[in-house]
Each structure stands twice: as C-alpha cells, then as structure tokens.
Amino acid sequence: MPHVVCEPCIKCKYTQCVAVCPVESFREDEEMVVIDPEVCIDCGACVPECPVQAIYPAEEVPEKWKSFIQLNADKAPNLPPINEHKTPLAEQ
C-alpha cells in the first residue's frame, strides 16, 4: 500500500516531503502535492517531513480523508513531478 497526501496539504504545499523521496514519487498541481501510488515504495521517509501531518500510509488514512487515496491515484498520472523543495504556498 502506498502513502497518500491528504487534505492538510491543500494551499500549504510545504514540499519538504518531495526532497526526501528516494524514488521521486511526488507530483504537483497548483494547490497541493500528491503521491503516485505506482511509484511510491512505501518507505515512509516523507511522513515526518510534513509540518502539517498531511501524509499517511493508505491503510492509516483518517476516515474523513479516505477520498484522498483515490484522488492521489487519479491526479498523479497527469501531473508533473516535483523533486525539489519550493517556497510553500502557506508562506507566499
């Protein structure tokens, strides 16, 4: 099971997570990042990097954010990769 980026990332997009991913599984749109479940190796290295606790293993996603499992899977194939930290939306 891959990891999943959930609701707290929206309009924050801190992106520390993307810099530690060993397989470059993160993708970005204008307001958040998502994880490509086909690429994620489930290492969990990104989890402690997120300052807003937006990333969970798929099996531990809180009930209220379950829809983000599908949202990550749907969005990722159509978005560009992001591998380097950027100025967060929350700080712009």
Partner 1 sequence: MKVAIFNPSFGENFVRVARWAAKSRGRVQRHPEYLLIAAQVLIDAGHDVQFVEAAARNFTPEESYDILRQFKPDLLVLHATTPSIYNDIEQARAVKEQTSCRVAFVGQHVTAEPDNTFELSGNAIDYILKGEYDETLRDLAAGINPAAITGLSYQQAGRIVHNPGRPPMDVDTLPFPAWHLIKPEWYPDAGKKFPFLTLISGRGCNNACTFCRDPQLMYGYRLRMRSPEKVVDEMEHDLSVHPEIREIMFETDTFAASREHVEGVCREIIRRKLNKKICWSCNMRINTPLDILPLMKSAGCRMLMVGFEFGYDEAFRAVRKGGVSVSMARQFAQRAHELGFIIHGCFMIGAPGETRASAQETIDMAKSLPLDTVQITGIATYPGTTMYQWAKENGYLIARDWREWLTAEKEQRTLLSYPQLSNKEIDAFIDKGLKQFYLRPAQIWRMLVSIRSAGDLWRKVYGLGAFLNYFFGKIRSRPPRSPKASSPSNPPIFI
> Cβ 62 to partner 1, closest distance in Å?
17
> Cβ 32 to partner 1, closest distance in Å?
21
| Helix, strand or coil, per DSSP, at residue 30 | coil
**CA–CA gap between residue 86 and residue 63 (Å, rounded):** 30
Query: Between residues 10 and 16, which has the closer beta carbon with respect to partner 1?
Result: 16
Query: Between residues 45 and 79, which has the closer beta carbon with respect to partner 1?
Result: 45
- Cβ 90 vs Cβ 13: under 8 Å: yes
> Cβ 31 to partner 1, closest distance in Å?
25
- Cβ 67 vs Cβ 42: under 8 Å: no
